[in-house]
Amino acid sequence: MVVVTGQNKVSGDPDDAMSSSDAEDDFQEPATPTATQAGQALPLLPQQFPEVVPLNVGGMHFTTRLSTLRRYEDTMLAAMFSGRHYIPTDAEGRYFIDRDGTYFGDILNFLRSGDLPPRDRVRSVYKEAQYYSIGPLLDNLEDVQPLKGEKVRQAFLGLMPYYKDHLERIIEIAKLRAMQRKARFAKLKVCVFKEEMPITPYECPHFNSLRFERSESETKLFEHHCEVDVSFGPWEAVADVYDLLHCIVTDLSDRGITVDHQCIGVCDKHLINHYYCKRPIYEFKITWW
């Protein structure tokens, strides 16, 4: 039999004695447990929150009830303050959320009483509602202006699958030309046409038959690319050329790009007989500074 006290070993019968190496292997002092081992042995208790919760959201201070933060269980806030996750506190003991707090008050007002933000803050609050995954607020905001109108506008733009690509092309061409010329602005030609076929007052009586009852060879006669930088169209909708122009200018402006445009004529490419292209050509002026 072998008796071990601390690191000293007392041997009994020599035949039963173990080598010093065997003894060290079998009777090493337990090492200091690692953080992982400690976590497995002593799981952290759920974080406890007071009924009235002080918050620090990106440096802005708020106070609300715990039940308000947990109003909708499928939201990020409800998960954060469920007790399952650790939330750090600042020097004053406020629970810290590392997010811009500019619109957090609007988030709380909805959770408290269902209030929606003023129209000029709807887009920004919508972005915050997406971050915090507040589905009911997202649904409500999508049903008011300007987001409701944006859904209608996007339905129209969905008719042109390359719309965003064309916007990028306008920006890239304008930037390249301005850099090459070392100029404040750049000009480019843009064609925006709703109808695939040419229409003029004297062509209207023949338009329908020409459009729907023509051979493959006749169809090819009408296929051509206008000599422009970017071309939008055709599409089938009530919205007309001026509506699409408004979309183009609005989306470029939202990206901080100053743009002016004017119609400079139509494409005069001869197609067949007395038919010419007639697609309107617009000059876009992009100012960079």
Question: Mind listing the pLDDT tens digit for each residue in 201-245?
Answer: 444 444 444 444 545 555 555 567 788 999 998 888 899 999 999
267 and 165 in a common domain: yes
Following DSSP, what letter does each residue of 116-175 receive, concatenated? PPPGGGHHHHHHHHHHTT-HHHHHHHTTSTTHHHHHHHHHHHTT-TTHHHHHHHHHHHHH
Residue 83 is part of a domain; what is its CATH number? 3.30.710.10
263 and 191 in a common domain: yes
132 and 80 in a common domain: yes
Domain presence at residue 162: yes
Say what the pLDDT of residue 149 is.
93
Count of domains for the chain: 2
Say what the pLDDT of residue 216 is.
57
166 and 282 in a common domain: yes
164 and 101 in a common domain: no
Among 98, 120, 144, identify where a domain stops: 144
Domain presence at residue 191: yes
> Which of 188, 198, 180 lies closest to 252 in space, CA to CA?
188
98 and 68 in a common domain: yes
Say what the pLDDT of residue 232 is.
93
Among 144, 176, 211, identify where a domain stops: 144
273 and 172 in a common domain: yes
Give the chain's residues under pLDDT 50. 1-12, 14, 16-21, 23-43, 201-212, 214
Following DSSP, what letter does each residue of the chain receive, concatenated? -EEEETTEEEE-SGGG---HHHHHHHSPPPPPPPHHHHHHHSPPPPPP--SEEEEEETTEEEEEEHHHHTSSTTSHHHHHTSSSS---B-TTSPEEE-S--TTHHHHHHHHHH-PPPPGGGHHHHHHHHHHTT-HHHHHHHTTSTTHHHHHHHHHHHTT-TTHHHHHHHHHHHHHHHHHHHT-SEEEEEEEE-S-SS---TTTHHHHHHHHHS--HHHHHHT----SSSEEE----SS--HHHHHHHHHHHHHHTT-EEEEEEEEE---EEETTEE---EEEEEEEE--
Domain presence at residue 23: no
241 and 170 in a common domain: yes
Among 79, 109, 144, identify where a domain stops: 144
Say what the pLDDT of residue 142 is.
94
190 and 126 in a common domain: no
167 and 98 in a common domain: no
Domain presence at residue 29: no
Domain presence at residue 259: yes
Domain presence at residue 58: yes
Domain presence at residue 16: no
The residue range of the domain holding 283 is 158-198+225-287
Domain presence at residue 99: yes
275 and 178 in a common domain: yes
